[in-house]
Amino acid sequence: MNTTQAHPEVVQSEDVLSRQEQRSQPLYTGRVKVYPKAVSGRVRRVKWAVLGLCLALYYLLPWVRWDRGPNLPDQAVLLDLPNRRFYLFWIEIWPQEIYYLTALLIIASFTLFMATSIGGRVWCGFTCPQTVWTDLFMKVEHWIEGDRNARMRLDAQPMSGSKLTRKLAKHAVWLLISLLTGGAWIMYFVDAPHLVTGFVTGGLDPVTYFFIFLFTGTTYMLAGMAREQVCTYMCPWPRFQAALLDEDSLVVTYRQWRGEPRGKHKKGQSWEGRGDCIDCKQCVSVCPTGIDIRDGIQLECIGCGLCIDACDGVMAKVDRPLGLIAFDSERNQRLNAAGLPPVSRRSRLVRPRTIIYAFLITGITLALLTALTLRSQLDVNVLHDRNPLFVTLSDGSIRNGYTIHVLNMGQEERQMTLTVDGLPGAEITVVGAEQDDAVSARLNVTSDAVLTYRVFVSVPADVLDENATDIAFVFDDPDAGLVSSHDSVFRGP
Amino acid sequence: MPTKVEKDSVTGTETTGHEWDGIKELNTPLPKWWLYIFYASIIWSVIYCIFMPSVPYITGYFGGIWDYSQRATVEEQLAAAHQRQSVFLDRMAGLSPEQVAEDPELLTFALAGGAAAFADNCAPCHALGGAGNPGGYPVLADDDWLWGGTMDDIMVTIRHGIRSDLDTNTRLATMPNFGSDGLLSREQVAAVADYVLSLSGHGDAGAETLAEGAEIFAAQCVSCHGADGTGLHEFGAPNLTDAIWLYGGERSEVIAQVNHPRLGVMPAWEERANGQGLDDTTIRMLTVYVHSLGGGE
Ligand code: SF4
Ligand code: SF4
């Protein structure tokens, strides 16, 4: 341990190699384990708050109940794959409406792009599951094995009873959290209370167990072992975020113009002619990805801002202004270095890129909301028979067969009248339906179901003047005041 | 093997002792992860050979401790499928096709089972959906039936066939070769054909020919086709007054049919050769299906 001559009572210098320094070693060295030091400060507090919020949302959402009436699941958010329904509070999505989810994903991506262009890697640093669970796992590790130095010492020690106990305890807690996490994931697909009772009594099917343990395993691996390697090597996001950032985006920045030339500083020494960075490497030691932010913006930096807290702590102790490391833009660095004032907050936020994103997000959101409010609870699909295309009846008239699927997504039964439009003199027969006359049929469409009808339409041959006539099936629901028309074709010789 | 192990001065790795143009090949060891996976695969394959079918003998093979066989699995799955179907099959036993059609659940099952059996057995002649084929394979989706279109008629036809030599109870009727056997002269055949066409308002023969045709029709044809030409299901005699012609409605086609009739044959599905006949339930499901195609009476 390398203790500074300067400020020995306040700031301890860290003996760490940053990733940049490690890079000067040959290629293909093994991973150097990162021992991030615990830190406290403003960013850390925000991070704890976001972490609490995200985890609470994730673990508790499946337990929110939502009454949908009998025979339907009462879980507010449920992706019911076996029955092919997605439930989101009051919205019930059928397979053919899956594009609503697409719209939701597009909105989410553009929001992510916009957040990135304004605030850099805020997603990575604060809300990404990888960051959130790694943070949680590190907290557990800190709690059981102690802080950076204690952990490094422990790992260097030969195996002993107390080391074994600590390690076992840590992994046990990790595995427990992982199991809860993997289980909670399945709760979005299987009714939550049913899943818990089933898990405890061993009554779940093997596939469910497989997925619970799969996600338990991935949580344990990714948050416990792989950690920053996921961000550096596995995740595609760091690769293309460069295209989303510009010189006005806020990124975690070491203000070089203020910090350099860096150097050790003794208490009472003048700050004239030198930078504010006292080269204590606190920023490196707290970094969960093990880099030195003073080397500039880097692929590995997840923008967690913990180095800001670390350096602010140091600056407070040596009595220099805070914010040597801060969320700031590249343009501001240039302006500051040239002695000019930074750009205003407003012109940093409002620029073509963010305007376009905001425009797209609003547009797609509006489109989605409109589609959701206007969506019909009734879907009709008309299939014209191919075998036979048409049949000549004994009186010479021509008959076509149709299979009509009526899908009632609503919760009420509907009474509808079916007629045919576009063929004068057409008669209609619906197998198994009540008919008052030869040109219309009454259909009882039960709620939340798909019904299939066989429909025959026939006309005298002399009505047809071409071998394909466009017709429409008209569904009239007087109770709901709803008339819908569905195109098809009538074929003749 | 080189007698003396030489080390590369730059990397410190042993060389293989091979040298090409001054370049020596390093004997870099295999990556550990690779090696461990390799060992694990060997162990795995031994375990696999013990539990699963593995070693071939001259006749047969070692089935492994678990004696697993995909064929047996398929048989189990088939048995399970039959088990599931048997619920419906049992319920259907002893019910007439009409009774089956009245029970919505059985109807759905019978229509699906009937459609499958139809595609396997009937579609080669009658085409999918009963669309029929030219040249004497009747459309089953229209409202015209040679031997009757009630459930019972259809079932008898399927069960015993038409002019089938497999079944003594088969539907049997014949039409004389009026022309080729010399019962009628060429002119008489033409006259009766003209008369038949005129029954459905076709043809342009003169009153004299029609009168002659009517006379011959009354003498030769009414016993089967009826005095008004509307046919008789008992003899499979088609209705000659409608718009449907099994062997074509052109004058030449009608003449050919009077001259030397083509008589269709359909196998007796209950009695097909080698005990391959359809079982009773399948025949009933087929009946319900054919009846549903659009023409059932
Ligand atoms: S940037 Fe701040 S924390 Fe990092 S070495 Fe310099 S003074 Fe220390
Ligand atoms: S450099 Fe700073 S912001 Fe970036 S990952 Fe490290 S601690 Fe977080």
Please report whether residue A24 resides in a domain. no
Give the closest of A396, A456, A461 to B294, CB-based.
A456
Tell me, what's the pLDDT at A5? 45
Q: What is the mean pLDDT of the segment spanning B34-55?
A: 95
Q: Please tell me whether residues A179 and A311 are part of one structural domain.
A: no
Our mutation pick for probing the ligand 1 site, out of A43, A257, A276, A281, counting the most ligand atoms within 8 A of Cβ, is A281
Helix (H) and strand (E) counts in chain B = 11, 2
Please report whether residue A370 resides in a domain. no
- Residues in CB range of A457: below 8 A, 6 or more apart: A399, A400, A402, A420, A423, A426, A427, A428, A429, A471, A490
Q: Which chain A residues are Cβ-neighbours of B132 within 8 angstroms? A: 388
Residue B265: name the closest of B174, B203, B196 by CA.
B174
Structure tokens at A351: 């620029």
pLDDT bracket for residue A211 (50, 70, 90): very high
Nearest CA to ligand 1 atom 2: A311
Contact check, Cβ <8 Å, B243/A394 = yes
Tell me, what's the pLDDT at A16? 67
Question: Can you give the residue range of the structural domain that contains A322?
Answer: 246-343
pLDDT bracket for residue A406 (50, 70, 90): confident
Q: What is the mean pLDDT of the segment spanning A53-65?
A: 93
- pTM to 2 decimal places: 0.64
pLDDT bracket for residue A8 (50, 70, 90): very low
A131 phi and psi angles, rounded to 5 deg: -70, -45
Domain end among A241, A263, A294 = A241
pLDDT of A312 strictly over 60: yes
Nearest CA to ligand 1 atom 1: A277
User: Lowest mean pLDDT: which of A107-121, A210-224, A472-486, B239-253?
Assistant: A472-486
Q: Please tell me whether residues A173 and A52 are part of one structural domain.
A: yes
Average pLDDT, chain A: 86
- Ligand 1 pocket, residues with Cβ under 6 angstroms: A 254, 259, 277-283, 294, 310-311, 314, 324-325
When scoring A394, A452, A464 by the number of chain B Cβ atoms within 10 A, the one with the most, hence best to mutate, is A394
pLDDT, one tens digit per residue, over B130-156 is 989 988 899 999 889 999 999 999 999
Please report whether residue A15 resides in a domain. no
Q: Which chain B residues are Cβ-neighbours of A28 within 8 angstroms? A: none
CB B155 within 8 A of CB B287: yes
Question: Would you call the peptide bond into A73 cis, given omega within 30 degrees of 0 as the criterion?
Answer: no
Contact check, Cβ <8 Å, A393/B292 = no
pLDDT of A22 strictly over 60: no
CA distance A297 to A255: 11
CB A101 within 8 A of CB A82: no
Q: Which ligand lies nearest to the CA atom of residue A43 in the structure?
A: 2
CA distance A133 to A395: 76
pLDDT, one tens digit per residue, over B168-189 is 889 988 899 999 998 999 999 9
pLDDT of A397 strictly over 80: yes
- Residues in CB range of A138: below 8 A, 6 or more apart: A36, A288
pLDDT, one tens digit per residue, over A330-387 is 888 888 888 888 888 887 888 888 999 999 999 999 999 998 887 777 788 899 988 8
Q: What is the mean pLDDT of the segment spanning B23-31?
A: 85
pLDDT bracket for residue A284 (50, 70, 90): very high
When scoring B107, B122, B242 by the number of chain A Cβ atoms within 10 A, the one with the most, hence best to mutate, is B242
Please report whether residue A439 resides in a domain. yes
Q: Tell which atom from ligand 2 comes closest to the C-alpha of A310.
A: 7
Q: Specify which residues A444 forms β-bridges with.
A: A415
Q: Which chain A residues are Cβ-neighbours of B115 within 8 angstroms? A: none
Q: Which chain B residues are Cβ-neighbours of A389 within 8 angstroms? A: 131
pLDDT bracket for residue B254 (50, 70, 90): very high
Q: Which ligand lies nearest to the CA atom of residue A12 in the structure?
A: 1
CATH superfamily of B81-170+265-294: Cytochrome c-like domain (1.10.760.10)
Q: Please tell me whether residues A445 and A481 are part of one structural domain.
A: yes
CB A444 within 8 A of CB A401: no
* Cβ neighbourhood burial of B62 (10 Å; 0-12, 13-18, 19+): middle
Domain end among A241, A272, A295 = A241
C-alpha gyration radius of chain B: 37
Q: Tell which atom from ligand 1 comes closest to the C-alpha of A294.
A: 1
Q: Specify which residues A384 forms β-bridges with.
A: A402
Structure tokens at B287: 């009946």
Q: Please tell me whether residues A234 and A271 are part of one structural domain.
A: no
Q: Please tell me whether residues A339 and A420 are part of one structural domain.
A: no
Q: Is B244 at the interface with chain A, CB within 8 A?
A: yes
DSSP state, residue A262: P
Q: What is the mean pLDDT of the segment spanning A1-11?
A: 47
Residue A424: name the closest of A483, A471, A385, A384 by CA.
A471
Contact check, Cβ <8 Å, B292/A399 = no
pLDDT bracket for residue A13 (50, 70, 90): low
Please report whether residue A351 resides in a domain. no
Structure tokens at B250: 């052109």
pLDDT of A10 strictly over 80: no
Tell me, what's the pLDDT at A358? 94
Our mutation pick for probing the ligand 2 site, out of A134, A231, A291, A328, counting the most ligand atoms within 8 A of Cβ, is A291
pLDDT bracket for residue B294 (50, 70, 90): confident
Domain end among A241, A261, A292 = A241
pLDDT bracket for residue A1 (50, 70, 90): very low
Whichever domain contains A468, its CATH number is 2.60.40.10
Q: What is the mean pLDDT of the segment spanning A258-281?
A: 85
Please report whether residue A364 resides in a domain. no
Total domains present in chain A: 3
Q: Please tell me whether residues A449 and A301 are part of one structural domain.
A: no
CA distance A115 to A305: 16
pLDDT bracket for residue A479 (50, 70, 90): confident
**Cα torsion A68, A72, A75, A80: sign:** negative
Minimum distance, in Å, between the CA of residue A393 and any CA atom of chain B: 6
Q: Work out the widest C-alpha separation in chain A, in whole angstroms.
A: 114
Please report whether residue A175 resides in a domain. yes
Please report whether residue A28 resides in a domain. no
Q: What is the mean pLDDT of the segment spanning B197-214?
A: 89
Q: Please tell me whether residues A111 and A235 are part of one structural domain.
A: yes
Structure tokens at B54: 């593995």
Average pLDDT, chain B: 89
Q: Tell which atom from ligand 1 comes closest to the C-alpha of A325.
A: 1
User: Lowest mean pLDDT: which of A355-369, B47-61, B96-110?
Assistant: B96-110
Tell me, what's the pLDDT at A2? 44
Strand, coil or helix: B215: helix
Tell me, what's the pLDDT at A9? 47
Q: How far is the CA of A55 from the centre of ligand 2 (A)?
A: 22
Our mutation pick for probing the ligand 2 site, out of A138, A298, A299, A304, counting the most ligand atoms within 8 A of Cβ, is A304
Q: Please tell me whether residues A390 and A284 are part of one structural domain.
A: no
CA distance B286 to A160: 79
pLDDT bracket for residue A248 (50, 70, 90): confident
Give ranges for CATH 1.10.760.10 in chain B. Answer: 81-170+265-294, 186-259
- Residues in CB range of A150: below 8 A, 6 or more apart: none
**Cα torsion A164, A170, A176, A182: sign:** negative
Q: Please tell me whether residues A139 and A152 are part of one structural domain.
A: yes
Q: How far is the CA of A3 from the centre of ligand 1 (A)?
A: 15
Q: What is the mean pLDDT of the segment spanning A161-190?
A: 92
CATH superfamily of B186-259: Cytochrome c-like domain (1.10.760.10)
Minimum distance, in Å, between the CA of residue A81 and any CA atom of chain B: 24
How many pairs of residues across A and B have Cβ atoms under 8 Å apart? 50
| Selected residues 277-296 of chain B with any CB under 8 Å from a CB in chain A | 292, 294-295
Tell me, what's the pLDDT at A4? 41
Burial pattern B157-190, b for ≥16 Cβ within 10 A else e, equals: bbbbbbbbeebeebbeeebeebbeeeebeeebbb
CA distance A196 to A204: 9
Q: Please tell me whether residues A237 and A153 are part of one structural domain.
A: yes
pLDDT of A432 strictly over 90: no
Tell me, what's the pLDDT at B18? 84
Give the closest of B131, B142, B295 to A387, CB-based.
B131
Structure tokens at A9: 């009572």
CA distance A195 to A205: 10
Tell me, what's the pLDDT at A381? 87
CA distance A294 to A256: 7
Find the residue in B nearest to A401 (Cα): B294
Q: Count CB atoms within 10 A of the CB of residue A387.
A: 13
Torsion angle of C-alpha atoms B217, B223, B226, B228, degrees rounded to 10: 30
**Tokens 């913006």 found at:** A297
Nearest CA to ligand 2 atom 6: A287
Between B18 and A27, name the one with better pLDDT: B18
CA distance A385 to B131: 10
Percent of chain A past pLDDT 90, that is, above it, reads 33
- Residues in CB range of A331: below 8 A, 6 or more apart: A247, A248, A342, A343
Amino acid at B199: L
Tell me, what's the pLDDT at A101? 86
CA distance A352 to A374: 32
Torsion angle of C-alpha atoms A10, A14, A15, A21, degrees rounded to 10: -140
Expressed in percent and rounded to 5, the helix, strand and coil fractions of chain A are 45, 20, 35
DSSP state, residue A166: H
CA distance B137 to B153: 17
Give alpha helix (H) positions in A242-305. 256-259, 282-286
Give the closest of B128, B244, B294 to A399, CB-based.
B294
